[in-house]
Each structure stands twice: as C-alpha cells, then as structure tokens.
A = this chain, B = another copy of it.
Amino acid sequence: MKKHILIVPGDGIGQEVTEVGKAVLVKIAEKFGHEFTYDEALMGHVAIEATGNPLPDETLEKMRNSDAILFGAVGHPKYDNDPTAKVRPEQGLLKMRKELGLYANLRPIKLFDELLGASSIRPEILKGSDILFFRELTGDIYFGEKGRKNDNNTAYDIAEYSRYEVERIARKAFEAARTRGKRLCSVDKANVLETSRLWREVIQALAPEYPDITVEHQFVDAAAMMLIKDPKRFDVVVTANLFGDILTDEASQIAGSMGMLASASVGDSTGVYEPIHGSAHDITGKGVANPLASVLSAGLLLDISFGLKEESEAIISAVDKLLKDGFRTRDIADATTPADKVLNTQQAGEELLKRI
C-alpha cells in the first residue's frame, strides 16, 4: 500500500513521542511491504514562535494533501497564566478540526491487564472495562460566538448544536456499537440545556433504525460519577464536545495513565491520530515521556484510515509484550518495577521495535 503520512509533532513532549510513533510506522511498512512517505509540519506554540500563526497555511495545505496525520500535542504554560493572550496554541487545534471537518473524536479506553495496578481505582472494579468514546469535536460552546460586554465586565460563550451535527456523530457511534457490545450511552444535560434536549431528540429519533442497539441516556454529572463507580457498565459512549472533553480525561485516569491512551479525530477529510496526554511541559526535554500512546495512535491510524487491521494488531501486541516482559516508562512504573526495567523514551522505542 502506498500512503503519504504527515507528522505534526507540535509542542512539548509531542516532539519526543511522535519520533517513536513514526519509527513504528517505518518498521511496520518495512515488515509488511508498504510504501509510506512522510512529511513534517509546524503547529501550536512552535508555529506561533516561527510564523505568528498557530496553524500556518503551509501546515494546513500539507494536512489536506496527506492520507493521515500523526499528531503530537499543542500547548504551552505561558498562555495558561495569561488570559489576555490573543494568539494561543489551542486556536490551531480548533481551526484544524474545523478546516479538516474532524467532527468525531474517538477514544478507546481499554486496559492492558499488566497495568491494572496503575489506576487509583480498585482493580476488581476496573478489570474488563472496555469503553469507546465518541466526542463531538466541531460544535458546542467551544466554537460558538464568545466575547465581552458591559465595559468588559461580562463574558459570554454561546453553545450551539444543529440536528445535522448531532446526527452525523450519533450514526458513527451507533455503527461502532454494532461491532462491539451493542450498547450505546448518550450523555447530555437535557434537564437544563436546550442543546442537550436537541441532542437527546436526535438520538431518540435514530434509535429505531438500530433496533439491535440498547440505548441509554445519562446526565453528564451522573455519568462522571458512574464512570468511576462501575466503568464496565459502558460500551460505546457518545457525547457533546465539552462533556466529552471532561469525561474522556476522567476516563483516562480509569486507565491508569494518560501515557497509554490514543485517540482518533475523523470526519470528512484526512484523519488525525494523537496521544491524549498533551504537551506536558513539566517533563519536556527530559527524555522520560511515555511514547506508547503515540505508538498506539500510529496503530489506530493504520486501522481506521488505511484499514490495515493486521498491522494495527501487530503494534498493540508489541506494546502488550513490552509490558508483559516487565518494561515500564516512569509514569507507569511502580514500587515493584526493578530499576533496570524502567525505560526512557528512546529505550521504550527501541524495545518496542524489537517486538514488532
């Protein structure tokens, strides 16, 4: 198979982990006889520093011309403590989602048995959890009009959803449920929000087309609680942009570490695959970041954008072997991990490549 892959490392540890993710793609191409070509582009804080724009036109052009994008992370702490900054790394992220029509963010939360002990949730509650989140990514309060009024003393943000926006992601979630446990939980706040009432109407209207799927509706506050209390209760979860942002990060802790979780953003055009861990500037440049989420993102990329199931499985099973052999990066090591089994980013990459 001939494919062109764009690498967008972005900020912070994004640089360090996508290097390993790319190495895995190179190894897979070699082993399975594919012809992957690569290019690289700037985004986020590094793009602001270089061009003044968090998503330069050149990057966007390269994105449109690639078959899939392996993405790192964007963000820098200097913006967090400067609420008045006009240009921000996250604007690049939001613009990319809009421009590429990436309306669905998929986050598989599946635990590697070896890591059950890494979570603060009790193993007996966790074991067997396997959740697939569908977070709507281009609507809601993140993209509505926002601003100030009353002499800068009042701030507002408008949340908005159209029937069409809800329906297209709901269909993806219903279809995914069909290939899994046949249960769909739609999360909203329909007892208070009008956008949530529209959301629920659309799910209810679609349900008869999927009679094999059991549909449940949960309020977002109840879901935030239930995710900890009984994660096995969930199969496919579909929810709006803001609620999905919160619940998927919460669920990442169920999985023990953000360092292990991959995500896919898909829609009308090129798909983007990225770890969920963010730029993590506290450990940037130290070479200790866990590259396995970027590696698993590369696996998702092969599966979803190229339909290469066997290749994707080869990556997951290499990660599984690495863990079964006792190796850990610092973030998933514990008191029982021998010092010589704790790997830095580069070592984890090397050990992983041996197992593909």
Binding site for B on A (CB under 8 A): 75, 79-81, 83-84, 88, 90, 94, 120-122, 125, 141-142, 144, 146-148, 150, 153-164, 189-195, 197-201, 204, 217, 220-222, 224-225, 227-230, 242-243, 245-250, 252-254, 258
Contacts A142-B193, A225-B252 known; list 4 others, CB within 8 Å: A80-B190, A120-B121, A189-B242, A227-B250
9 inter-chain pairs at a CB distance below 8 angstroms, sorted by A residue, are A120-B122, A120-B230, A141-B141, A154-B163, A159-B159, A220-B245, A224-B224, A224-B249, A225-B253
Q: Is the CB of B155 within 8 A of A191?
A: no
CA distance A121 to B119 in the complex (A): 9
Q: Are A157 and B228 in contact (CB under 8 A)?
A: no
User: Closest approach, in angstroms, between the C-beta of A326 and any C-beta of chain B?
Assistant: 22
Name the residue of chain B whose CB is nearest to the CB of A200: B83
Docked Cα-Cα span, A148 to B161, in Å, equals 10
Q: Are A192 and B90 in contact (CB under 8 A)?
A: yes
A84, A153, A225: most-surrounded residue (chain B CB, <10 A): A225
Q: Which residues of B contact A228 (CB under 8 A)?
A: 120-121, 228, 250, 253-254
Across the interface, which residues of B come within 8 angstroms of A84, CB to CB?
Answer: 197
Tell me whether A157 and B225 are in contact (CB under 8 A).
no
In the complex, which residue of chain B has the Cβ closest to the Cβ of A220? Answer: B246
Residue contact B159 to A153, C-beta cutoff 8 Å: no
Residue ID in chain B nearest A144 by CB atoms: B156
Question: In the bound complex, what is the Cα–Cα distance between A195 and B249 (angstroms)?
Answer: 21
Are A194 and B120 interface neighbours, CB within 8 A?
A: no
Q: Which of B122, B150, B156, B163 contacts A194 (CB 8 A)?
A: B156
